Protein backbone atom coordinates (compact mmCIF):
# COMPACT_ATOMS: atom_id res chain seq x y z
CA UNK A 1 0.00 0.00 0.00
CA UNK A 2 1.22 3.49 -0.84
CA UNK A 3 1.98 5.87 2.00
CA UNK A 4 0.69 9.43 1.82
CA UNK A 5 3.12 12.32 1.60
CA UNK A 6 1.63 15.63 2.77
CA UNK A 7 2.36 18.58 0.52
CA UNK A 8 2.97 21.87 2.34
CA UNK A 9 3.16 24.70 -0.16
CA UNK A 10 5.09 27.77 0.93
CA UNK A 11 4.97 29.76 -2.33
CA UNK A 12 3.08 32.55 -0.55
CA UNK A 13 5.56 32.75 2.32
CA UNK A 14 9.07 31.51 1.48
CA UNK A 15 8.36 31.91 -2.24
CA UNK A 16 7.39 35.51 -1.69
CA UNK A 17 10.78 36.03 -0.01
CA UNK A 18 12.38 35.78 -3.48
CA UNK A 19 14.01 39.13 -4.19
CA UNK A 20 11.43 41.50 -5.61
CA UNK A 21 8.55 39.00 -5.61
CA UNK A 22 6.11 40.85 -3.39
CA UNK A 23 2.50 39.91 -4.06
CA UNK A 24 -0.58 41.90 -3.14
CA UNK A 25 -3.52 40.39 -1.26
CA UNK A 26 -5.56 39.77 -4.42
CA UNK A 27 -2.71 37.98 -6.13
CA UNK A 28 -2.03 35.87 -3.05
CA UNK A 29 -5.66 34.89 -2.77
CA UNK A 30 -5.81 33.95 -6.44
CA UNK A 31 -2.69 31.80 -6.12
CA UNK A 32 -4.12 30.20 -2.97
CA UNK A 33 -7.27 29.27 -4.89
CA UNK A 34 -5.14 27.64 -7.55
CA UNK A 35 -3.22 25.74 -4.84
CA UNK A 36 -6.54 24.40 -3.57
CA UNK A 37 -7.34 23.23 -7.11
CA UNK A 38 -3.93 21.60 -7.20
CA UNK A 39 -4.95 19.85 -3.96
CA UNK A 40 -2.01 20.74 -1.77
CA UNK A 41 -2.59 19.71 1.85
CA UNK A 42 -1.31 22.84 3.56
CA UNK A 43 -0.88 26.42 2.33
CA UNK A 44 1.59 28.55 4.23
CA UNK A 45 -0.01 31.90 3.55
CA UNK A 46 2.44 34.33 5.16
CA UNK A 47 4.07 35.78 8.23
CA UNK A 48 1.31 37.87 9.86
CA UNK A 49 3.34 39.83 12.40
CA UNK A 50 5.62 41.25 9.71
CA UNK A 51 3.11 43.65 8.16
CA UNK A 52 -0.60 44.43 7.98
CA UNK A 53 -0.59 43.30 4.33
CA UNK A 54 0.81 39.91 5.33
CA UNK A 55 -1.75 39.68 8.10
CA UNK A 56 -4.62 40.51 5.78
CA UNK A 57 -3.54 37.98 3.16
CA UNK A 58 -3.29 35.16 5.72
CA UNK A 59 -6.63 36.14 7.18
CA UNK A 60 -8.42 36.25 3.86
CA UNK A 61 -7.04 32.89 2.75
CA UNK A 62 -7.82 31.24 6.10
CA UNK A 63 -11.31 32.74 6.26
CA UNK A 64 -12.36 31.81 2.76
CA UNK A 65 -10.62 28.60 1.74
CA UNK A 66 -11.22 25.09 3.04
CA UNK A 67 -7.64 23.87 3.42
CA UNK A 68 -5.11 23.81 6.25
CA UNK A 69 -3.67 27.33 6.35
CA UNK A 70 -0.37 27.84 8.14
CA UNK A 71 0.94 31.16 9.43
CA UNK A 72 4.58 31.65 10.30
CA UNK A 73 5.69 32.95 13.70
CA UNK A 74 9.07 33.21 15.35
CA UNK A 75 9.21 31.59 18.78
CA UNK A 76 7.88 34.79 20.33
CA UNK A 77 4.52 35.48 21.92
CA UNK A 78 3.86 38.56 19.79
CA UNK A 79 4.34 36.55 16.57
CA UNK A 80 2.29 33.58 17.74
CA UNK A 81 -0.58 35.77 18.89
CA UNK A 82 -0.56 37.62 15.59
CA UNK A 83 -0.53 34.32 13.66
CA UNK A 84 -3.51 33.16 15.66
CA UNK A 85 -5.39 36.43 15.16
CA UNK A 86 -4.97 36.07 11.41
CA UNK A 87 -6.07 32.43 11.46
CA UNK A 88 -8.73 32.48 14.13
CA UNK A 89 -11.80 32.42 11.87
CA UNK A 90 -10.34 29.80 9.56
CA UNK A 91 -11.59 26.23 9.38
CA UNK A 92 -8.20 24.54 9.69
CA UNK A 93 -5.57 26.81 11.25
CA UNK A 94 -1.95 25.82 11.79
CA UNK A 95 0.60 27.91 13.68
CA UNK A 96 4.11 27.36 12.36
CA UNK A 97 6.68 28.53 14.85
CA UNK A 98 10.43 28.25 14.54
CA UNK A 99 13.74 28.83 16.21
CA UNK A 100 17.32 28.60 15.01
CA UNK A 101 19.15 25.54 16.27
CA UNK A 102 22.59 25.40 14.61
CA UNK A 103 25.60 26.67 16.55
CA UNK A 104 26.33 29.18 13.79
CA UNK A 105 22.86 30.66 14.13
CA UNK A 106 22.69 30.46 17.91
CA UNK A 107 26.05 32.17 18.37
CA UNK A 108 25.52 34.61 15.52
CA UNK A 109 21.94 35.69 16.17
CA UNK A 110 21.21 35.40 19.89
CA UNK A 111 22.60 38.07 22.26
CA UNK A 112 24.32 37.25 25.56
CA UNK A 113 21.97 39.21 27.75
CA UNK A 114 18.83 37.34 26.88
CA UNK A 115 20.23 33.95 25.89
CA UNK A 116 23.33 33.45 28.07
CA UNK A 117 27.05 33.81 27.48
CA UNK A 118 28.24 30.38 26.42
CA UNK A 119 27.03 28.14 23.64
CA UNK A 120 25.73 25.68 26.25
CA UNK A 121 23.71 28.39 27.99
CA UNK A 122 22.34 29.66 24.72
CA UNK A 123 21.37 26.17 23.60
CA UNK A 124 19.50 25.64 26.88
CA UNK A 125 17.63 28.91 26.43
CA UNK A 126 16.64 27.97 22.88
CA UNK A 127 15.43 24.57 24.09
CA UNK A 128 13.29 26.11 26.80
CA UNK A 129 12.02 28.86 24.54
CA UNK A 130 11.00 26.30 21.90
CA UNK A 131 9.13 24.26 24.50
CA UNK A 132 7.37 27.29 25.95
CA UNK A 133 6.40 28.74 22.60
CA UNK A 134 5.01 25.47 21.23
CA UNK A 135 2.96 25.22 24.42
CA UNK A 136 1.84 28.80 23.99
CA UNK A 137 0.78 28.12 20.38
CA UNK A 138 -1.13 25.06 21.62
CA UNK A 139 -3.28 27.31 23.80
CA UNK A 140 -4.72 28.67 20.53
CA UNK A 141 -4.80 25.75 18.07
CA UNK A 142 -4.25 21.97 18.06
CA UNK A 143 -2.26 21.97 14.86
CA UNK A 144 1.22 23.33 15.67
CA UNK A 145 4.31 22.91 13.54
CA UNK A 146 7.77 23.56 14.89
CA UNK A 147 10.80 24.18 12.65
CA UNK A 148 14.41 23.87 13.74
CA UNK A 149 15.90 26.55 11.53
CA UNK A 150 19.22 25.57 9.96
CA UNK A 151 18.67 21.95 11.02
CA UNK A 152 20.85 20.97 8.06
CA UNK A 153 23.87 22.36 9.96
CA UNK A 154 22.68 21.47 13.46
CA UNK A 155 24.52 18.93 15.55
CA UNK A 156 22.42 15.74 15.48
CA UNK A 157 22.44 15.24 19.27
CA UNK A 158 21.13 18.74 19.95
CA UNK A 159 18.68 18.50 17.06
CA UNK A 160 17.26 15.27 18.52
CA UNK A 161 16.83 17.04 21.91
CA UNK A 162 15.03 19.97 20.29
CA UNK A 163 12.74 17.71 18.27
CA UNK A 164 11.88 15.60 21.32
CA UNK A 165 11.19 18.73 23.38
CA UNK A 166 8.95 20.30 20.73
CA UNK A 167 6.94 17.08 20.42
CA UNK A 168 6.65 16.87 24.20
CA UNK A 169 5.28 20.42 24.19
CA UNK A 170 2.61 19.36 21.68
CA UNK A 171 3.97 20.00 18.18
CA UNK A 172 2.20 17.71 15.72
CA UNK A 173 4.55 18.42 12.82
CA UNK A 174 8.30 18.81 13.15
CA UNK A 175 10.04 20.46 10.27
CA UNK A 176 13.72 19.85 9.52
CA UNK A 177 14.84 22.66 7.21
CA UNK A 178 18.05 22.66 5.27
CA UNK A 179 17.86 26.45 5.49
CA UNK A 180 21.10 27.18 3.68
CA UNK A 181 20.91 24.35 1.13
CA UNK A 182 24.16 22.94 2.50
CA UNK A 183 23.58 19.23 2.85
CA UNK A 184 24.09 16.36 0.41
CA UNK A 185 21.19 13.98 -0.30
CA UNK A 186 22.73 10.98 1.48
CA UNK A 187 23.70 13.12 4.47
CA UNK A 188 20.28 14.76 4.75
CA UNK A 189 18.48 11.42 4.41
CA UNK A 190 20.75 10.04 7.12
CA UNK A 191 19.82 12.94 9.39
CA UNK A 192 16.13 12.08 9.08
CA UNK A 193 16.84 8.37 9.67
CA UNK A 194 18.90 9.25 12.77
CA UNK A 195 16.10 11.42 14.18
CA UNK A 196 13.62 8.60 13.63
CA UNK A 197 15.96 6.37 15.65
CA UNK A 198 16.98 8.76 18.44
CA UNK A 199 13.82 10.70 19.27
CA UNK A 200 11.72 8.55 21.55
CA UNK A 201 8.34 10.23 20.90
CA UNK A 202 8.96 10.70 17.16
CA UNK A 203 5.85 8.75 16.16
CA UNK A 204 3.64 11.41 17.75
CA UNK A 205 4.52 13.91 15.02
CA UNK A 206 4.87 14.02 11.26
CA UNK A 207 8.43 14.70 10.15
CA UNK A 208 8.57 17.39 7.51
CA UNK A 209 11.45 18.69 5.40
CA UNK A 210 12.08 22.10 3.89
CA UNK A 211 15.06 22.21 1.57
CA UNK A 212 16.69 25.23 -0.03
CA UNK A 213 18.41 25.01 -3.36
CA UNK A 214 21.77 26.76 -2.88
CA UNK A 215 23.64 23.78 -4.34
CA UNK A 216 20.82 22.74 -6.67
CA UNK A 217 20.02 19.77 -4.42
CA UNK A 218 16.72 20.81 -2.81
CA UNK A 219 14.59 18.26 -4.65
CA UNK A 220 17.17 15.47 -4.30
CA UNK A 221 17.43 16.18 -0.56
CA UNK A 222 13.66 16.15 -0.21
CA UNK A 223 13.35 12.79 -1.99
CA UNK A 224 16.14 11.33 0.12
CA UNK A 225 14.34 12.54 3.26
CA UNK A 226 11.13 10.85 2.14
CA UNK A 227 13.00 7.59 1.70
CA UNK A 228 14.20 7.93 5.26
CA UNK A 229 10.88 8.66 6.91
CA UNK A 230 9.80 12.25 6.18
CA UNK A 231 6.09 12.41 5.42
CA UNK A 232 5.58 16.11 4.75
CA UNK A 233 7.41 18.07 2.07
CA UNK A 234 7.66 21.86 2.02
CA UNK A 235 8.02 23.29 -1.44
CA UNK A 236 7.08 26.09 -3.79
CA UNK A 237 5.68 26.43 -7.29
CA UNK A 238 8.54 26.90 -9.79
CA UNK A 239 10.96 26.43 -6.87
CA UNK A 240 10.91 30.14 -6.04
CA UNK A 241 12.08 31.28 -2.62
CA UNK A 242 14.82 32.88 -0.60
CA UNK A 243 18.14 33.10 -2.57
CA UNK A 244 18.36 30.10 -4.93
CA UNK A 245 14.86 29.10 -3.93
CA UNK A 246 13.10 26.16 -2.35
CA UNK A 247 12.47 22.61 -3.51
CA UNK A 248 10.16 22.81 -6.48
CA UNK A 249 6.71 21.30 -5.92
CA UNK A 250 6.29 20.13 -9.49
CA UNK A 251 9.65 18.33 -9.54
CA UNK A 252 9.04 16.48 -6.28
CA UNK A 253 5.52 15.47 -7.27
CA UNK A 254 6.42 14.29 -10.76
CA UNK A 255 9.47 12.38 -9.48
CA UNK A 256 7.19 10.50 -7.10
CA UNK A 257 4.61 9.92 -9.82
CA UNK A 258 6.89 8.97 -12.69
CA UNK A 259 8.92 6.56 -10.54
CA UNK A 260 6.04 4.79 -8.84
CA UNK A 261 7.85 1.58 -9.75
CA UNK A 262 10.59 2.60 -7.34
CA UNK A 263 8.77 4.23 -4.47
CA UNK A 264 5.32 3.53 -3.10
CA UNK A 265 4.32 6.97 -2.01
CA UNK A 266 1.27 8.94 -3.02
CA UNK A 267 0.20 12.54 -2.81
CA UNK A 268 -3.25 14.02 -3.41
CA UNK A 269 -1.91 16.49 -5.97
CA UNK A 270 -3.91 16.89 -9.17
CA UNK A 271 -0.91 17.05 -11.48
CA UNK A 272 -2.98 18.42 -14.36
CA UNK A 273 -3.19 21.73 -12.47
CA UNK A 274 0.59 22.10 -12.24
CA UNK A 275 1.08 24.12 -15.41
CA UNK A 276 -1.71 26.60 -14.59
CA UNK A 277 -0.21 27.08 -11.14
CA UNK A 278 3.25 27.62 -12.60
CA UNK A 279 2.05 30.21 -15.11
CA UNK A 280 -0.01 32.03 -12.53
CA UNK A 281 2.86 32.27 -10.04
CA UNK A 282 5.28 33.39 -12.71
CA UNK A 283 2.82 35.99 -13.95
CA UNK A 284 2.04 37.49 -10.56
CA UNK A 285 5.58 37.44 -9.16
CA UNK A 286 7.28 38.51 -12.38
CA UNK A 287 9.78 35.68 -11.90
CA UNK A 288 10.31 34.16 -15.31
CA UNK A 289 10.57 30.37 -15.53
CA UNK A 290 13.82 29.37 -17.23
CA UNK A 291 13.07 27.61 -20.56
CA UNK A 292 14.89 24.42 -19.58
CA UNK A 293 13.23 24.19 -16.15
CA UNK A 294 12.07 20.62 -15.49
CA UNK A 295 8.31 19.98 -15.85
CA UNK A 296 7.12 23.56 -16.48
CA UNK A 297 9.83 25.19 -18.63
CA UNK A 298 8.95 26.14 -22.18
CA UNK A 299 11.31 23.48 -23.51
CA UNK A 300 10.37 20.73 -21.07
CA UNK A 301 8.44 18.89 -23.79
CA UNK A 302 10.09 20.36 -26.90
CA UNK A 303 12.01 17.99 -29.16
CA UNK A 304 14.51 19.72 -31.37
CA UNK A 305 16.81 17.19 -33.01
CA UNK A 306 15.68 15.19 -36.02
CA UNK A 307 16.47 11.88 -34.35
CA UNK A 308 14.33 12.78 -31.34
CA UNK A 309 11.47 14.06 -33.47
CA UNK A 310 11.54 10.89 -35.52
CA UNK A 311 11.49 8.76 -32.36
CA UNK A 312 8.63 10.79 -30.93
CA UNK A 313 6.55 10.35 -34.06
CA UNK A 314 6.98 6.57 -33.86
CA UNK A 315 6.40 6.29 -30.13
CA UNK A 316 6.35 9.23 -27.72
CA UNK A 317 7.76 7.13 -24.91
CA UNK A 318 11.10 7.08 -26.72
CA UNK A 319 11.96 10.54 -25.40
CA UNK A 320 9.19 11.45 -22.96
CA UNK A 321 8.97 10.00 -19.47
CA UNK A 322 5.67 11.76 -18.83
CA UNK A 323 3.02 13.20 -21.08
CA UNK A 324 2.63 16.98 -21.30
CA UNK A 325 -1.06 16.50 -20.48
CA UNK A 326 -0.09 14.87 -17.15
CA UNK A 327 1.06 18.27 -15.91
CA UNK A 328 -1.63 20.25 -17.69
CA UNK A 329 0.36 21.34 -20.72
CA UNK A 330 -2.14 21.46 -23.52
CA UNK A 331 -0.49 20.76 -26.84
CA UNK A 332 -3.55 21.62 -28.85
CA UNK A 333 -3.64 25.29 -28.07
CA UNK A 334 -7.04 26.85 -27.62
CA UNK A 335 -7.19 30.10 -29.51
CA UNK A 336 -9.75 32.82 -28.97
CA UNK A 337 -10.40 35.68 -31.37
CA UNK A 338 -12.51 38.80 -31.53
CA UNK A 339 -15.62 36.74 -32.33
CA UNK A 340 -15.26 34.48 -29.33
CA UNK A 341 -17.63 36.51 -27.19
CA UNK A 342 -17.85 37.24 -23.51
CA UNK A 343 -19.12 33.78 -22.60
CA UNK A 344 -16.28 32.03 -24.46
CA UNK A 345 -13.78 34.21 -22.63
CA UNK A 346 -15.41 33.51 -19.26
CA UNK A 347 -15.34 29.73 -19.82
CA UNK A 348 -11.67 29.75 -20.80
CA UNK A 349 -10.68 31.95 -17.84
CA UNK A 350 -12.55 29.57 -15.52
CA UNK A 351 -10.62 26.66 -17.01
CA UNK A 352 -7.35 28.50 -16.47
CA UNK A 353 -8.17 28.78 -12.78
CA UNK A 354 -9.21 32.44 -12.42
CA UNK A 355 -12.05 33.79 -10.39
CA UNK A 356 -13.48 37.23 -11.08
CA UNK A 357 -16.46 39.43 -10.46
CA UNK A 358 -18.81 40.50 -13.25
CA UNK A 359 -17.17 43.95 -13.25
CA UNK A 360 -13.73 42.44 -13.60
CA UNK A 361 -14.91 40.18 -16.40
CA UNK A 362 -16.27 43.18 -18.24
CA UNK A 363 -12.95 44.98 -17.83
CA UNK A 364 -10.95 42.02 -19.09
CA UNK A 365 -13.40 41.54 -21.95
CA UNK A 366 -12.84 45.12 -23.10
CA UNK A 367 -9.07 44.60 -22.96
CA UNK A 368 -9.47 41.26 -24.68
CA UNK A 369 -11.31 42.89 -27.60
CA UNK A 370 -8.60 45.56 -27.90
CA UNK A 371 -5.97 42.84 -27.95
CA UNK A 372 -7.89 40.63 -30.38
CA UNK A 373 -8.07 43.60 -32.75
CA UNK A 374 -4.30 43.93 -32.67
CA UNK A 375 -3.42 40.26 -32.53
CA UNK A 376 -6.23 38.27 -34.17
CA UNK A 377 -5.36 35.11 -32.22
CA UNK A 378 -5.43 35.29 -28.44
CA UNK A 379 -3.69 32.42 -26.62
CA UNK A 380 -3.92 31.19 -23.04
CA UNK A 381 -0.76 33.08 -22.12
CA UNK A 382 -2.28 36.31 -23.44
CA UNK A 383 -5.28 35.73 -21.20
CA UNK A 384 -3.12 35.02 -18.17
CA UNK A 385 -1.34 38.26 -18.79
CA UNK A 386 -4.55 40.23 -19.22
CA UNK A 387 -5.80 38.84 -15.92
CA UNK A 388 -2.64 39.75 -14.04
CA UNK A 389 -2.19 43.06 -15.74
CA UNK A 390 -5.69 44.39 -15.89
CA UNK A 391 -7.59 42.82 -13.02
CA UNK A 392 -5.24 42.50 -10.07
CA UNK A 393 -2.82 45.31 -10.71
CA UNK A 394 -5.53 47.81 -11.43
CA UNK A 395 -6.23 48.35 -7.73
CA UNK A 396 -2.93 50.05 -7.19
CA UNK A 397 -2.01 53.54 -6.24
CA UNK A 398 -0.59 54.95 -9.48
CA UNK A 399 -1.80 53.93 -12.89
CA UNK A 400 -0.36 54.86 -16.24
CA UNK A 401 -3.10 56.73 -18.03
CA UNK A 402 -1.38 58.15 -21.08
CA UNK A 403 1.98 58.01 -22.75
CA UNK A 404 3.49 59.75 -25.73
CA UNK A 405 7.04 59.21 -26.88
CA UNK A 406 9.13 60.85 -29.58
CA UNK A 407 12.24 58.99 -30.60
CA UNK A 408 14.27 58.38 -33.71
CA UNK A 409 17.78 58.31 -35.05
CA UNK A 410 18.25 62.11 -35.02
CA UNK A 411 15.82 63.22 -32.30
CA UNK A 412 16.31 63.67 -28.59
CA UNK A 413 14.07 61.04 -27.03
CA UNK A 414 11.22 62.76 -25.20
CA UNK A 415 8.34 61.27 -23.23
CA UNK A 416 5.17 62.74 -21.80
CA UNK A 417 3.29 60.65 -19.30
CA UNK A 418 0.08 61.08 -17.36
CA UNK A 419 -0.48 59.13 -14.16
CA UNK A 420 -3.78 58.54 -12.40
CA UNK A 421 -3.71 58.80 -8.64
CA UNK A 422 -7.24 58.05 -7.48
CA UNK A 423 -9.41 60.73 -9.04
CA UNK A 424 -6.47 62.99 -9.83
CA UNK A 425 -3.93 62.99 -12.63
CA UNK A 426 -0.32 64.14 -12.81
CA UNK A 427 1.37 64.93 -16.09
CA UNK A 428 5.09 65.35 -16.74
CA UNK A 429 7.58 65.31 -19.61
CA UNK A 430 11.24 64.54 -19.79
CA UNK A 431 14.04 63.66 -22.16
CA UNK A 432 16.34 60.67 -21.74
CA UNK A 433 19.07 58.52 -23.23
CA UNK A 434 16.45 56.54 -25.09
CA UNK A 435 12.64 56.35 -25.14
CA UNK A 436 12.50 54.08 -22.07
CA UNK A 437 14.86 56.29 -20.08
CA UNK A 438 12.78 59.32 -21.08
CA UNK A 439 9.63 57.58 -19.76
CA UNK A 440 11.30 56.60 -16.51
CA UNK A 441 12.57 60.15 -16.03
CA UNK A 442 9.10 61.59 -16.64
CA UNK A 443 7.57 59.17 -14.13
CA UNK A 444 10.23 60.08 -11.55
CA UNK A 445 9.51 63.76 -12.08
CA UNK A 446 5.78 63.23 -11.70
CA UNK A 447 6.19 61.32 -8.45
CA UNK A 448 9.21 63.17 -7.13
CA UNK A 449 11.04 59.88 -6.56
CA UNK A 450 14.33 58.51 -7.84
CA UNK A 451 14.62 54.82 -7.06
CA UNK A 452 17.65 52.81 -8.16
CA UNK A 453 16.76 50.63 -11.12
CA UNK A 454 18.41 47.32 -10.29
CA UNK A 455 17.39 45.45 -13.40
CA UNK A 456 15.27 45.93 -16.50
CA UNK A 457 14.30 43.17 -18.92
CA UNK A 458 12.03 42.95 -21.91
CA UNK A 459 10.91 39.80 -23.69
CA UNK A 460 8.03 38.61 -25.81
CA UNK A 461 5.63 36.44 -23.89
CA UNK A 462 3.29 35.22 -26.58
CA UNK A 463 3.66 34.19 -30.18
CA UNK A 464 3.88 36.06 -33.44
CA UNK A 465 4.95 39.51 -34.63
CA UNK A 466 2.19 41.18 -32.70
CA UNK A 467 3.16 39.29 -29.56
CA UNK A 468 2.69 40.87 -26.17
CA UNK A 469 5.94 42.24 -24.85
CA UNK A 470 6.62 41.94 -21.16
CA UNK A 471 8.88 44.32 -19.28
CA UNK A 472 10.14 43.54 -15.81
CA UNK A 473 11.70 46.29 -13.74
CA UNK A 474 13.29 45.77 -10.36
CA UNK A 475 13.98 48.78 -8.16
CA UNK A 476 15.87 48.91 -4.89
CA UNK A 477 15.37 50.91 -1.76
CA UNK A 478 17.79 50.18 1.08
CA UNK A 479 17.77 46.42 1.71
CA UNK A 480 14.56 45.69 -0.19
CA UNK A 481 13.84 45.35 -3.85
CA UNK A 482 10.49 45.60 -5.61
CA UNK A 483 9.49 44.21 -8.96
CA UNK A 484 7.01 45.59 -11.43
CA UNK A 485 5.75 43.94 -14.55
CA UNK A 486 4.06 45.55 -17.51
CA UNK A 487 2.63 44.04 -20.62
CA UNK A 488 1.62 45.56 -23.90
CA UNK A 489 2.03 45.03 -27.62
CA UNK A 490 4.13 48.23 -27.36
CA UNK A 491 7.28 47.56 -25.33
CA UNK A 492 7.79 51.21 -24.34
CA UNK A 493 4.34 51.25 -22.80
CA UNK A 494 5.07 47.87 -21.16
CA UNK A 495 8.26 49.34 -19.66
CA UNK A 496 6.50 52.41 -18.30
CA UNK A 497 3.75 50.25 -16.78
CA UNK A 498 6.36 48.00 -15.19
CA UNK A 499 8.18 50.95 -13.65
CA UNK A 500 4.97 52.41 -12.25
CA UNK A 501 4.07 49.03 -10.82
CA UNK A 502 7.44 48.58 -9.13
CA UNK A 503 6.93 52.01 -7.53
CA UNK A 504 3.46 50.89 -6.43
CA UNK A 505 4.94 47.83 -4.71
CA UNK A 506 7.47 50.06 -2.98
CA UNK A 507 4.78 52.48 -1.83
CA UNK A 508 2.64 49.63 -0.55
CA UNK A 509 5.59 48.29 1.42
CA UNK A 510 6.27 51.73 2.86
CA UNK A 511 2.69 52.14 3.94
CA UNK A 512 2.25 48.71 5.48
CA UNK A 513 5.54 47.46 6.83
CA UNK A 514 5.83 47.92 10.54
CA UNK A 515 9.07 48.20 12.34
CA UNK A 516 8.64 46.24 15.55
CA UNK A 517 10.58 47.90 18.31
CA UNK A 518 13.00 45.13 19.26
CA UNK A 519 14.33 44.27 15.82
CA UNK A 520 13.24 45.18 12.36
CA UNK A 521 11.11 42.44 10.88
CA UNK A 522 11.14 42.00 7.18
CA UNK A 523 10.68 38.81 5.27
CA UNK A 524 14.34 39.10 4.27
CA UNK A 525 15.46 39.03 7.89
CA UNK A 526 14.15 35.53 8.62
O1 LIG B 1 14.40 27.97 5.49
C2 LIG B 1 13.92 27.96 6.63
O3 LIG B 1 14.53 27.50 7.60
C4 LIG B 1 12.60 28.52 6.82
C5 LIG B 1 11.96 28.29 8.15
C6 LIG B 1 11.27 29.51 8.65
C7 LIG B 1 11.06 27.10 8.07
O8 LIG B 1 12.04 29.07 5.91
ZN1 LIG C 1 12.97 28.52 3.97
177 lines ligand 1 (CB under 6 A): yes
Q: Which of 275, 147, 143 is nearest to 207 (CA)?
A: 147
What is the CA(467)–ligand 2 centre distance, in A?
Answer: 37
Query: Is residue 389 over pLDDT 70?
Result: no
Domain 393-514 class, CATH top level = alpha beta
Which atom of ligand 1 is least distant from the CA of 150? 3
Q: What angle do CA 15, 16, 22 make, to 5 degrees?
A: 155
Quote the pLDDT of residue 26: 86
Quote the pLDDT of residue 390: 61
Quote the pLDDT of residue 523: 43
Residue with more model confidence, 477 or 457 = 457
Element of type H or E holding 67: none
180 lines ligand 1 (CB under 6 A): no
Domains 3-285 and 393-514 share a fold: no
Cβ of 88: how many Cβ atoms within 10 Å?
13
Cα separation of 172 and 94, whole Å? Answer: 10
Rounded to whole angstroms, what are the CA distances from 526 to 323, 370, 425?
Answer: 39, 44, 39
Q: What's the mean pLDDT when you consider all of the chain? A: 90
Query: Is residue 320 over pLDDT 90?
Result: no
pLDDT digits (tens, 9 = 90+) for 229-258: 999 999 999 999 999 999 999 999 999 999
Residues sharing a CB contact under 8 Å with residue 447, sequence separation 6 or more, in sequence order: 398, 419, 426, 503
Minimum mean pLDDT range among 397-406, 444-453, 480-489, 512-521: 512-521
Ligand lying nearest the CA atom of residue 101: 1
Quote the pLDDT of residue 371: 84
Cβ of 512: how many Cβ atoms within 10 Å?
14
Instruction: List strands edge to edge, sheet with 469-477.
Output: 452-460, 469-477, 480-488
Segments making up each domain of the chain, as ranges: 3-285, 302-388, 393-514
Name which residue sits closest to atom 8 of ligand 1, judged by CA. Answer: 14
Helix (H, G, I), strand (E, B) or coil at 459: strand
Cα separation of 217 and 187, whole Å? Answer: 12
Q: Which of 7, 42, 35 is nearest to 268 (CA)?
A: 7
Query: Is residue 395 over pLDDT 70?
Result: no
- Residues 8, 45 contacting (CB under 8 angstroms): no
146 lines ligand 1 (CB under 6 A): no
Quote the pLDDT of residue 492: 95
Cα separation of 123 and 134, whole Å? Answer: 17
Quote the pLDDT of residue 514: 47
Quote the pLDDT of residue 231: 98
Quote the pLDDT of residue 334: 66
Secondary structure, 3-state, 220-272: HHHHHHHHCCCCEEEEEHHHCCCCCCECEHHHHHHHHHHCCCCCCEECCCCHH
Q: Which of 240, 333, 249, 241 is nearest to 289 (CA)?
A: 240
pLDDT digits (tens, 9 = 90+) for 363-384: 889 888 888 887 777 888 788 8
Quote the pLDDT of residue 515: 43
Residue with more model confidence, 226 or 263 = 226
Q: Which of 241, 236, 171 is nearest to 202 (CA)?
A: 171
- Sheet strands (E) in 432-468: 452-460
98 lines ligand 1 (CB under 6 A): yes
173 lines ligand 1 (CB under 6 A): no
Quote the pLDDT of residue 181: 98
Per-residue confidence at 481, pLDDT binned at 50, 70, 90? confident
In this prediction, what percent of the chain has a pLDDT beyond 70? Answer: 92
Tell me which fold the domain 3-285 belongs to. TIM Barrel (3.20.20)
Per-residue confidence at 516, pLDDT binned at 50, 70, 90? very low
What is the CA(254)–ligand 1 centre distance, in A?
Answer: 24
Quote the pLDDT of residue 275: 95
- Residues 54, 17 contacting (CB under 8 angstroms): no
DSSP secondary structure letters along 291-318: TT-TTTSTTTT---SHHHHHHHHH-GGG
- As a whole number, mean pLDDT of residues 438-445 equals 96
Quote the pLDDT of residue 204: 98
Which atom of ligand 1 is least distant from the CA of 14? 8
- As a whole number, mean pLDDT of residues 190-201 equals 98
pLDDT digits (tens, 9 = 90+) for 52-93: 889 999 999 999 999 999 999 999 999 999 999 999 999 999
- As a whole number, mean pLDDT of residues 113-131 equals 97
147 lines ligand 1 (CB under 6 A): yes
Beta bridge partners of 336: 378
Amino acid sequence: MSEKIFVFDTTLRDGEQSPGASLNVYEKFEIARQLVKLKVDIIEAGFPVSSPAQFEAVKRIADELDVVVAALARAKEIDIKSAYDALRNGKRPRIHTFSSTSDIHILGKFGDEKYGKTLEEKRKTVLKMSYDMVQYAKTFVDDVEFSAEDAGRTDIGYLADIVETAIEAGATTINIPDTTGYTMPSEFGQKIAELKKRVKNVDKAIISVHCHNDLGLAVANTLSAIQNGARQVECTINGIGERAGNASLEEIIMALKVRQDLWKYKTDIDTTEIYNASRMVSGFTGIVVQPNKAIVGENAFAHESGIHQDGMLKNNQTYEIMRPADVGVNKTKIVLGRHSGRHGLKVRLDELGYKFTEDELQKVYTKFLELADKKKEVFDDDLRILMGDEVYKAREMYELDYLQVNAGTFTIPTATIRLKVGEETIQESSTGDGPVDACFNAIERALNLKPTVESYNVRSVTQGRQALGEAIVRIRSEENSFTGRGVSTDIIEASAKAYVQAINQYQLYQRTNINLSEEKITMQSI
